[in-house]
Chain A
Amino acid sequence: MAILGITVLALPLVGLVQRAPWTSLGDLLGRRSVLESLRVSLTVSLMAAGVVLVLGTPLAWVLARVQVPFRRLVRALVVLPMVLPPVVGGTALLFALGRRGLVGQWLDRWFDVALTFTMAGAVVAAVFVALPFYVVTVEGALRTTGDEMESLAATLGAPPLTVLRRVTLPRLVPAMGAGLALAWARALGEFGATITFAGNLPGRTRTLPLATFQALESDPEAALALSLVLLAVSLAVLVPTRNRWFPTR
C-alpha cells in the first residue's frame, strides 16, 4: 500500500520527465517569453515572501502565545487558503479588492490604487495562498519550544525587546527559514488565484505557471520545459528544508 501511495505521487512526475524535450530544453528556456515569465515569477514570489515574513511572524506569535478569543475560528481562517481551491481565493479577492469590490472600490476612489491586472495584485494573490504555510510552521516551532526561556530571561531582568531579540528570535530562525522556503515555493507555483484576480499579461502578471498553462494550448513542448523548471525549483526548496513537516531522523 505504501508503494502504491508513493506511486500515485511519483508517477505523474516520471511521466513529465520522460516526455521532456531534453535536447531542445536550452533553446526553449532561453526564449524571451520564458525569461520574462521567470522574471515575473521571481519578483512576485520574492515580494510575496517578504510580505509573508512581515505579516506572518507576528500572527504566528499571537496564535502561539496569546489567548485570542475564538482561537479555533482564527486558526481555521489562517489554514483555510491551504485547502481552498485557489480559483475560489482569486474570486474572493476579486470581490474584496477588485475595482468594484468591498474594499477595492475605496482604494480605487480615494487612492487611485488598482490591484487587479497589476503585479501588486499577483503578489496579493501569492500572499493569500502562501501565508498559511509560514504561519503554521512558525507557530508550531513556537509551541514546541515553549516560553520557559523567555520567562527566565524576563525574570533575570531582560526588557521585552531584548528577550525578543536575544532569546525568542534566534531560536526561531530555523523554523522561520523553513516556513519561508515553503511559502516561497507555494507562491512560485501559484496559478488559480493569480489568473482570476491579477489576470495574465506578459511582463506584469504572467508568471511561470500561467505561461505553462498558456503554452499547453499552443506549444506543449514549451509547457513541458516550463513544468520542469517549476518542478526543479520546488524540489530544490523542499529537499533541504527541515521542520516538523519534514522530520529528519
Chain B
Amino acid sequence: MRFLSALAVVLAFTLATPACGADDASRVTVFAASSLTDVVDDLAERWKVAGGPKVVAVLGGSSHLAAQLRDGAPADAFLAADANLLDGLLSNPAPADLIRGLAYNHLVVAMPSDGPGRNPGDLYDQDLVLVVCARGVPCGDATWTRFDDLPVDSHEPSARAVVTRLDLGEADLGIVYATDVAARPGLVQAWPQDPACPCVAYAAAALTDRGRSFLTFLDTPAARDVLVDHGFAAEPPS
C-alpha cells in the first residue's frame, strides 16, 4: 500500500508539473532544419552574449518538424528550409513573426574526402552507392527537381543523415548542402561545382512572444554574420 501511495504521489507530481520547454520562461525552444545544426549553436551563443535567454535547439528534417508543430509540439520559433512549410503553421502572421529569405543554401554532390576522384558521369554509375534526401523534405525536393532518374541507394530523412552516410564511408556519393561540405572535414565536393539552383531559402517563424524576440535577433547584422561565416549565402545564388 505504501508503494501504491508513493506511486500515486509521483504520478500526481508528474501530471501537475507543466510541460517543460516552451513554458519554461528562461529558455527559448527553437525547432531548426537539420542543415542548420552547426549554425544554431553559434547563433544561440551570439544571442546569449547579446543578453538573450538560453536556446534549446531541436533539430530534424524540416517537414518532420513541421508535422510535429502541427500536432502541437511546444516551440517558440521554427527555422525551416522551406518557407512553404510555415504556411500551415501561421494563420495571418504579423511581419515580425516571419522572416523569408533568412539565408540561402544550394546543393552539391559530395563524397568522402578520402575517396577516389570522381566526375559528373559517376552520378549515374549503378555500381556506386548514391544517397540523397527523401522527397518531401526540402533537400530532397530540391534534389529531385534538379536531377531525375538517379540510381539512388537510399532516401534519407534529412540532409544530415546523408552527411553521416558519407562521413562513415557507407556511401560513395551524396547530394548535400554546400554548407555541409564546408562544415565537415570528412566531406569534399565530388568535383568543382558552381552554385546552382533550385536552392533552398531558409525562413524563420515566431510561434510565441519569446520566439519573436529570437527573430528580432536573427534580423541583426550579428546574426547574419554568423550565418555567412558558416557558408550560408545572404542572397540567392544567381
Contacts and interface: CB of A to CB of B under 8 A. Distances in A.
B226 interface: no
A242 to B, nearest CB: 32
A57 interface: no
A237 interface: no
Given A195-B157, A201-B153, A100 B168 contact: yes
B147 to A, nearest CB: 16
B67 A98 contact: no
A155 interface: no
B134 interface: yes
Interface residues of B, number: 23
B67 A199 contact: no
B64 interface: yes
B168 A200 contact: no
B109 to A, nearest CB: 18
Contact of A98 (B136, B152, B153, B170): B170
Nearest to B8: A1
A117 B168 contact: no
Contact of B67 (A99, A205, A216): A216
A205 B169 CA distance: 19
A197 to B, nearest CB: 9
A201 B134 CA distance: 9
Contacts of A43: none
Nearest to A201: B154
B43 to A, nearest CB: 25
Given A216-B67, A218-B63, A99 B155 contact: no
A207 interface: no
11 contacts: A94-B168, A99-B129, A117-B170, A195-B157, A199-B153, A199-B154, A200-B156, A201-B152, A201-B154, A216-B67, A217-B67
Interface of B: 4, 61, 63-64, 66-67, 129, 131, 134-137, 152-157, 165, 168-171
